[in-house]
Structure 1
Amino acid sequence: MGRFGKYLLLTCSVLATKCTVLPAVAASSKTTAETGPHPAGPHGQAVSRRGVPGTDRATEGSVLGANPQAEEISVRAAGRHADGTTNTTPGGGLMPRQTAPRSQSGVTRDFIAKQAPTGNISSMIANLPGVVYANQSPLATAGDNITMRGMNQTQIGYLFEGAPLADPINYEPYTAMLIDTENLGSVTVSQGSPDLNAPTFNAVGGQISATALNPSHRSGGFINLMGGNKSANKEFIRLETGDIGRSGIRGFVSFSHQSNNNWRGPGGLRRYHVDAKFVKEWGDDNSITAIFGYNKQEQTPFRSPSAAQWKQWGEGLSYTDHYTPGDANYYKLQLSNLNSQDVVVPMHFTLARGLKLSVTPYFVHQFGPAVGGENIPASGGAFGTQTYGDLGQPYVTGGRITTVAVDPWNQKVGAVNTSLNWTSGHNTLSGGYWYSYAMHEEHSTFATVDPSGKPANSYGKYGIRVDGGALLSGYNLNFMQQINALYLADTLKLLDDRLTLSAGFRAVMVSRQGTNDIPGADPYKTVRNYFAPLPQLAVSYAITSEDQIYINGTTSFRAPGSVQAYSQIFDPNSVGATSQPGSLKGEYGIGEEIGYRHNGALVHLQLSAFNMNLTNHQVSSTAYIPGTNTLISMPINAGGETIRGVQGELGLKPWHHFSPYVSAQYLHATTDNNLPVSATNAAGQSVIDYLPTAGKTMVATPHVTASVGLAYDDNRRFFGNFSLRYISAQWATFMNDQRVPAYVLSDITLGYRLPHVAHLKGPKIQLNLVNIGNNLYRSAPASIVTSARSRVGLFGNRTNAGSPIYLVGGNFAALVSLSTGF
């Protein structure tokens, strides 16, 4: 390594003879070198401390949570830059070391720090095998639309610092609310199987675990300033306390502001965000960590076109940029607000030799509102199953009132996850308990719009009232959920710790009840209880110190997503419900994997084959309430599904400053059942028929995905990377008669580290070019239908045609950022 001159890196690894156990609330991959600047060691070198979370290299893990971990001491001399990069992870940060007995990939600071600072957790993993990230904005600010092995984000368990901060009812992760990418330490992706001890109950499609940077032992900070096209800008600052005396406490607090114009259509985004993390360590692996997050975000959403609208308008379909009376498509009447406060407090204690306790309480508060323009009848409209009289509102045009439909959703979650782990000799016994209580309120209202296009009563704070004084509403939902989960696992290491046998069992109990206080709602109250037994088994064998084979069998469960699955949705323009409760059966998956992994001195390689069978597969779909700009989420029970495929990735450690990476997946997923549809018989009556969907390719499951990356970093001045992603065509209908065409995307990063500047540490300038080909494309189905054409069902009845809507991918963006430590 002498070619790096003063950038000397010496790493000494001492493998412990005993295995330690991953705490039940931790992500499945833990790391062994601190992500923040290192404390000063002898002669100015930096020495890491054992057991510090949030680092940039994944170590051994178990699908069951019993995690044999290496004890490492890393000595570095100026090897880490101010942005947290070390230029040591294979594939330019896309292939950290993995040893878990399952398909598992990840990204580290070596990759994250070189991406656009507007990104989110989902956008950071877009190059990993099997991951399809369907963006709507080149800045990755418009949501988490991803699939893994054909499962979307609502079927994937999201953990941040070991806690599930995603919406526990709709399962949307909203990762842009969780953390600024400048504070993101690492992300680990487990395709297809979750940890047995993870506090999730929807992870049939796998698990995504993210950690924040660990606070530095030195006081200082980091600043990043960004600007780009579409008036994009971001200002970020992080302040580090360093070690506070001899208290063992250190922490950081950061603040950011971000804004931009929408890349298509009027409107834009404004976001304010705060992150904080404090750590207290003492004794033998005892620690208490407190993580706090705050987010205030308002964005004009994008319109999702149908195939016909896309053909006619392309990316030009958008909301109008000026208001005329009666125009419910005016952009200022469409807003999506994502606000949150979250607190996570992981605590780890060594009770006795080989006996460890982990306790993680957490609290999450997420709230809106979301608003959308809608014209409603001035009189004679519907309030539930009733008809209202004259609303007595001003500004009536043609017998209709232009309003904003306000959805002030409000959700609070309090929970605690615990585990107790006992290691004796070559055996580790783990047990744990998770309890969660969630409350969700969602009472829609309407606010009249004045002739200037401004809501006349403060976005429905007071609302429009019908005769009798009740607020006009389409739904008034109150929802409660309790989760109790128990797990027990055992891990045995044999043959000089080369053979690892793990087995475990988890029992998840979900209790839900909800009411809809709208006249005529049927049912008014819904109560459902779910119980799922979840056994897991894994076998791993280390052929050499660099080569590993594994096989596992896992199970997973997911209760139906969205409160709309339990309640009717009404609208003033429709007599009767516009949306009926969906299937309330839980989704259950049984999966198997076999894989090979090589963690060499230069080359890292992973290959795996997988099979999964699902019952009551819940396909998440969104659709506009007819005649409105209000989107609702509804699960579709697609019955059984069979998923089979192979995936792999290859990455090289820096070789002559270059780090190539390639990943690919072939996926064959089919529907196992003929699906029921609404139809009309010869007598003109509405009946239920079936369409021959059995054996068809499952929706939103591209057969082939691939990624190629090349990173360069001379570890002194110049750095950059290039990535290219290919997504093959994917169906939007169960009958496979309308689809999203295949597309290719590519991004480039170019950067330069400035020479020494007084009082600054590692200043750099970075250029991110996103979608350099400026491809205009549909990125994924936003809604799913059975068939895009009218057909004759299996029983001879005529079925209706559906019209899927689509997400539109973001176009070209150029972003320049200047950052430095201090």
Structure 2
Amino acid sequence: MFAMLLTVGCGSWTASTLAQDSVDIGEVNVTGQTVGNGQMVQEEAAKARSTVTKEALDKMSPTSNGIDKLKYTPGINVSSDDSTGLSGFAFTMRGMQSNQIGVTMDGIPINDSGDFSMYPNLLGDSENLEEIFLTQGSSELDAPHIGSSGGNIGLVSVAPTKEAGVFIKQTVGSNNLDKTFVRLNTGEYMGLSNYISASKTNSDKWKGKGDLDAEKFELNSMFKFGEGNSINALVKYHKQENFKYVKPSLAQYESDHDYDFPNEPTYNPTTGKLTTASYKTSVNPFETLSTTVTGRFQLRDDLQLTVQPYYYHGNGGSYSAFGSPATLYSTTNSSGNYDLSNLNTSGGYNADGDPVSGRYYRPSWTETWRPGINTKLSWALNDEHTLDVGYWYERARQRQSQPFVPLNADGSPADLWADYEDTNQVRDANGNVVQGRNYFTITPAQKAFVQDTWNVTPDLTLTGGVAYEHSKRDGDMRASLYDEPQKLETTYHKFLPSFNAKYQLNTDNSVFYSVSRAMRTPPNYVLYNSGDSASLKPELSWNNELGWRYATDDMALSATLFYLTFKNRQISSRDQATSDYIMLNVGDVENRGLELEFSGLLPRNFNYYASYTYTEAEQQDGITYFGYELPSKGKQVAGVPKNMFNLSLGYDDGRWYGNVIGKFVDNQYGDMTNDQSIPAFTVVDLNLGYRLPVNKNYMKSAAVRLSVSNLFNREYLSGVDSVAFTSAQYNPTYNSSLPNSATNRSTISTPYYNVGEEQTVAVSLEAQF
């Protein structure tokens, strides 16, 4: 059994630098097992932090993405559409939603620059991951985020090896799963080492019709020169053409646990016109390219400079047709921005004999260009003090459109990739592309920070710092069917201090305390929603942590109490008079709780790992919705389970390994008034593997791996996809027999949920030459 041993230096830095701070000591033959089976390491940071190593990553489901592989880690609740790693997912961490958590991949911020959403297609192949870490409570002081009022997740790629070789892995499984992965290492020559990898994955959806198809490409080059100098370049490319899953309401799920989009479109028997869309238009094509170059330069024995420029480009969209597909006629209200005289009327389309004329695929399309640079200078002033200063700058540009693309006779899109200037898109009489929305946002963001690490004594370390964060939303709302052109800009800036202390009580025990402030810039939609959304204040949070760690050669234990307050919580809502979208400030939230992590070794090559999380995420204010006060004060934040527990029993003798993992997740509310919830559930996973004996002259290693997710084939709802304000009626005068109006308004809205995947099996055969 082989493992790469990593050492992490003091101070905070991004995922890329953590990878650079690894000490390359070659291959080391490790006798015995690691504590936690790779799921837990002895952390040195003076704050809550968990790390999942490559040892544990390799023993999980072979196609899961980086976020999926955190599902047993304390503090985080992950809910995925399926185990392919390609579909949608949601997660919460310490009561914060996924779009409040910063995520980096080798130092690149990969949350959406507009609304901070996270997409699994940005994470690359899990075979190329060395480790995944998360700081559950707060981002690092220098982390390149403007959308993180909660914690931080970092994914670190494996480094190129000194020896040349080829790694091949073939995976097959349930639902016609087929993944082929190949990585070629060139070896090291005159300080330069590289690898290039490629993969192709295809799988049927586990419910409903449609499939998931993705291709990935990665290049990693490392050049080491001089004493402590290196340049690391990474390129990651991903392209997918995926069909989507329905996120059902509770009623839809209870009527049919496999509820999904219709298999085929339906047509009006009288006119022959398409009336109900099928799965064929509910798709998510997307393409991403990310590049980064990290230069690390030892200027003097006591002075080190890290410079990391990066660039990200994303292009794709998503469309879900529930019921009728999009329509467009000459009489469509276009706010005067388009001349639609070249189009037919609804009656004309119904009489023309074409089943799909006037019906369209209308994806919400987004293209992003995102260059940036992160820098850090670390200066060891003396034996007691190390000073870190740095600066991050990024200028993201994002175009969000919504074109109309004709349908084929079978109800499928004439062009799945509805690029901005595509000739298939509907144009008006003047040749202008007709857009349902048409936004262009520029977001310059920057952060400067300074931090001092003071080794007061050999056992006591204090770290204090402050960051200044500044961001701007520069919006251009261009002509569309529903919007008049206008330009608007907003600016946000704050000083964000942090302090932490760690004390080593003795060889085995240490304690820490951490406090930090964070800011989340409002999403770009505040520029385009109605009302006074642009005046929305940023979310501001204070995170406090008190922790204890205990570690010996055969056992590790970590316990953390946390208390997090944040104000100006941002929620999308509807205007009372017009029903247009607006952004609301719904007040303050207090998150408090406990995280436990416990792992160790047992006799006869057995091991164990357990984690427990208790979270109270309490809303501090009532909410006014359509003019009615909703009783949200004192209620649990939707989608946040109070209790989560994971327990794993494993075995590893160097040849055979196996583990069985049980995961319990408490009930989760779907609305902010806690009037509807999904039940608690327990799911069990199984992983087995055999490392084949090989002739080292021809093959370095080989293994067969088996993963079974949801071993007992439990049917359950796994998480909340779309939170509602309330699923109950709080308007006492509402009369359902009267038209919906400003004075007769129903308060009921519908939460939607993720469905837990049925039992799936995946078998992998891998070899390294």
Query: TM-score normalized by structure 2?
Result: 0.90
The residue type equivalent to 2:468 in the other structure is A
1:599 is matched with: 551
1:494 is matched with: 456
- Partner SS, residue 536 of structure 2: coil
2:694 is aligned with 1:694: no
Pairing 1:129-528 to 2, within 5 Å after superposition: 129-244=74-189, 247-321=190-264, 324=267, 325-373=273-321, 374-384=325-335, 391-392=343-344, 396-397=349-350, 401-423=358-380, 424-456=382-414, 461-462=422-423, 463-495=425-457, 497-518=458-479, 521=483, 524-528=486-490
- Partner SS, residue 207 of structure 2: coil
Report how far residue 234 of structure 1 moved.
Answer: 0.2
Pairing 1:650-799 to 2, within 5 Å after superposition: 650-653=598-601, 655-678=603-626, 688-715=627-654, 717-756=655-694, 759-792=698-731, 799=746
C-alpha contact 1:120 1:181 (8 A) present in aligned 2: yes
Report how far residue 794 of structure 1 moved.
Answer: 13
C-alpha contact 1:25 1:197 (8 A) present in aligned 2: no
2:38 is matched with: 93
2:270 is matched with: none
Report how far residue 306 of structure 1 moved.
Answer: 1.4
1:4 is matched with: none
C-alpha contact 2:589 2:620 (8 A) present in aligned 1: yes
Alpha-carbon displacement from aligned partner over 1:588-642 (angstroms, at most 9, x marks no partner): 00111100011211111000101111101235799xxx9xxxxx99865331001
The residue type equivalent to 1:786 in the other structure is F
Report how far residue 33 of structure 1 moved.
Answer: 5.6
Report how far residue 523 of structure 1 moved.
Answer: 7.3
Report how far residue 711 of structure 1 moved.
Answer: 2.0
Report how far residue 709 of structure 1 moved.
Answer: 1.1
Change (3 A) 1:664 1:437: same
Report how far residue 776 of structure 1 moved.
Answer: 1.9
C-alpha contact 1:133 1:147 (8 A) present in aligned 2: yes
Gaps of 5+ in 1: 1-6, 40-45, 47-75, 80-85, 569-576, 627-631, 679-687
The residue type equivalent to 2:95 in the other structure is G
Change (3 A) 1:28 1:205: farther
Report how far residue 430 of structure 1 moved.
Answer: 1.0
CA RMSD in angstroms, aligned pairs only: 3.0
Change (3 A) 1:705 1:659: same
C-alpha contact 1:691 1:793 (8 A) present in aligned 2: no
C-alpha contact 1:383 1:474 (8 A) present in aligned 2: no
- Partner SS, residue 198 of structure 2: strand
The residue type equivalent to 1:252 in the other structure is Y
- Partner SS, residue 596 of structure 1: strand
Change (3 A) 1:415 1:654: farther
- Partner SS, residue 525 of structure 2: helix
Change (3 A) 1:616 1:341: same
Report how far residue 350 of structure 1 moved.
Answer: 0.9
C-alpha contact 1:89 1:95 (8 A) present in aligned 2: no
User: For the residues of structure 1 that align with 2:582 and 2:556, how far apart are their CA atoms?
Assistant: 41
- Partner SS, residue 112 of structure 1: helix
User: For the residues of structure 2 that align with 1:453 and 1:144, how far apart are their CA atoms?
Assistant: 27
C-alpha contact 1:94 1:111 (8 A) present in aligned 2: yes
2:756 is matched with: 809
The residue type equivalent to 1:122 in the other structure is I
User: For the residues of structure 2 that align with 1:481 and 1:553, how far apart are their CA atoms?
Assistant: 28
The residue type equivalent to 1:499 in the other structure is L
2:739 is matched with: none
C-alpha contact 1:677 1:690 (8 A) present in aligned 2: yes
- Partner SS, residue 382 of structure 1: coil
C-alpha contact 1:156 1:203 (8 A) present in aligned 2: yes
User: For the residues of structure 1 that align with 2:376 and 2:349, how far apart are their CA atoms?
Assistant: 61
User: For the residues of structure 1 that align with 2:415 and 2:199, how far apart are their CA atoms?
Assistant: 31
User: For the residues of structure 2 that align with 1:29 and 1:216, how far apart are their CA atoms?
Assistant: 14
- Partner SS, residue 290 of structure 2: strand
Report how far residue 580 of structure 1 moved.
Answer: 9.6
- Partner SS, residue 705 of structure 1: strand
What is the total number of aligned residue pairs between the two structures?
737
User: For the residues of structure 2 that align with 1:140 and 1:521, how far apart are their CA atoms?
Assistant: 37
User: For the residues of structure 2 that align with 1:348 and 1:439, how far apart are their CA atoms?
Assistant: 28
2:574 is aligned with 1:616: no
User: For the residues of structure 2 that align with 1:811 and 1:479, how far apart are their CA atoms?
Assistant: 41
User: For the residues of structure 2 that align with 1:9 and 1:455, how far apart are their CA atoms?
Assistant: 48
Report how far residue 749 of structure 1 moved.
Answer: 0.8
- Partner SS, residue 311 of structure 1: helix
User: For the residues of structure 2 that align with 1:633 and 1:168, how far apart are their CA atoms?
Assistant: 20
1:685 is matched with: none
The residue type equivalent to 1:821 in the other structure is Q
C-alpha contact 1:582 1:634 (8 A) present in aligned 2: no
Of 555, 564, 579, which residue of structure 1 is paired with 2:525? 564
Report how far residue 731 of structure 1 moved.
Answer: 1.0
The residue type equivalent to 1:514 in the other structure is G
Change (3 A) 1:706 1:304: same
C-alpha contact 1:367 1:409 (8 A) present in aligned 2: yes
Query: TM-score normalized by structure 1?
Result: 0.84
Change (3 A) 1:458 1:727: closer
- Partner SS, residue 80 of structure 2: coil
C-alpha contact 2:65 2:125 (8 A) present in aligned 1: yes
Report how far residue 492 of structure 1 moved.
Answer: 0.6
- Quote the sequence identity (%): 25
C-alpha contact 1:91 1:710 (8 A) present in aligned 2: no
The residue type equivalent to 1:529 in the other structure is T
C-alpha contact 1:88 1:110 (8 A) present in aligned 2: no
Report how far residue 518 of structure 1 moved.
Answer: 2.5
C-alpha contact 2:612 2:646 (8 A) present in aligned 1: yes
Report how far residue 170 of structure 1 moved.
Answer: 2.3
- Partner SS, residue 775 of structure 1: coil
Change (3 A) 1:182 1:349: same
The residue type equivalent to 2:701 in the other structure is G
Gaps of 5+ in 2: 268-272, 735-742
Pairing 1:19-168 to 2, within 5 Å after superposition: 23=13, 26=16, 32=22, 34=24, 39=26, 46=27, 76-77=28-29, 79=30, 88-168=33-113
User: For the residues of structure 2 that align with 1:202 and 1:728, how far apart are their CA atoms?
Assistant: 28
- Partner SS, residue 243 of structure 1: strand
- Partner SS, residue 316 of structure 1: coil
Change (3 A) 1:455 1:157: closer
C-alpha contact 2:77 2:93 (8 A) present in aligned 1: yes
Report how far residue 468 of structure 1 moved.
Answer: 4.0
Report how far residue 22 of structure 1 moved.
Answer: 5.4
User: For the residues of structure 2 that align with 1:264 and 1:140, how far apart are their CA atoms?
Assistant: 16
Report how far residue 397 of structure 1 moved.
Answer: 3.6
